[in-house]
Structure 1
């Protein structure tokens, strides 16, 4: 269901962008001389490469400007993998540069993500970071819940205390997280 909604949003966005594209006014022209080859060198000369793999549209969550919640952005990756999502989370500033996926498993709607590091500072930002990672993985991999580990251990700080049985679930009210 989530993939359908993401795809529908993508189609609507592409249609609205196409509708907003300025068009050139029609001009009266004469037929080109068939013996002279003309090329504008513009986008109209480009033919899509049939060998290029299609991109997958993904949803990425990151901290909003005032730090009170999350923003959701649509992006694309060549292939949906845990590594590709972590790279995007690094790009959006959720995770630190150099963060690697040590292991990712999903079974029966439950995922386990083991990262090489996480920016745990003992502040409210820890919860926002975890929620961004959780929502990103849960939505894109269509999970019910996600366990996030760092080097095989639960994440704990002054603001986050995760035990072995603690899992992240999708947070619907991500825009304002108190």
Structure 2
């Protein structure tokens, strides 16, 4: 019985290795679907299927990928939203506008003051209806601290400080009591 099991295992291994063996490469200019689109850079193909085709776009506007925290619908915590803002560097007003677009804060809020120094951010907003909502304030803090790779955020609205002092990134944002 042992011999049979060893032989069966050997046959199965040979079949698996045979299926994983490399195949001949086709380095022609076209794939089996025709020619590559204008402006596309085409890599080598395996068995006629393109491994990678990437469009080369030279006139695209630059964007910055940002992480925006928003309040969960059941108000039990925060969730992460990945998005992009136009430009080639991060801008506090555009990040705030993205938070309004996602629905974290109301639209029309402007950044009155923004400073970044030694890992500490200072942000003064023109208004914020939800300034007493712990989750909204936490969403703003986590969004700015993460995107600016800071340690703390001092948040104020129209010059009035929010919270007991500098806020740090809340690691347990998914479930808040």
Tell me the TM-score normalised to structure 2 length: 0.66
Unpaired runs of 5+ residues, structure 1, are 1-24, 33-42, 156-161
Matched residue, 1:10: none
**Among 127, 143, 154, which residue is 2:161 paired with?**
154
Structure 1's consecutive aligned runs of 4 or more residues displaced over 2 angstroms after TM superposition are 43-49, 51-54, 119-122
Bigger relative CO (Cα 8 Å, ≥ 6 apart) = 1
Distance 1:105 1:51 in 2: 32
Aligned to 1:22: none
Higher Cα radius of gyration: 2
Taking structure 1 as the reference length, what is the TM-score of the superposition? 0.66
Aligned equivalent of 2:144: 137
Distance 1:49 1:138 in 2: 32
Q: Which has the higher strand share?
A: 2
Superposed CA RMSD in Å reads 2.4
In the superposition, relative to structure 1, how do residues 52 and 26 fare at CA in structure 2: closer, same or farther (>3 Å)? closer
**2:117 is aligned with 1:118:** no
Deviation at 1:84, TM superposition (A): 1.1
Tell me the matched-pair count. Answer: 130
Deviation at residue 45 of structure 1 after TM alignment: 4.4
- After superposition, the C-alpha distances for 1:121-167 in whole angstroms (9 at most, x for unaligned) are 75xxx110011000000000011000111011113xxxxxx24xx01
Q: CA deviation at 1:54?
A: 2.6
* Cα distance change, pair 116–172 in 1 and its aligned pair in 2 (3 A): same
Shift of 1:49: 3.9
For 1:9-88, list aligned pairs within 5 A.
26=32, 44-45=37-38, 48-79=56-87, 80-88=90-98
Unaligned runs of 5+ in 2: 1-30, 40-54
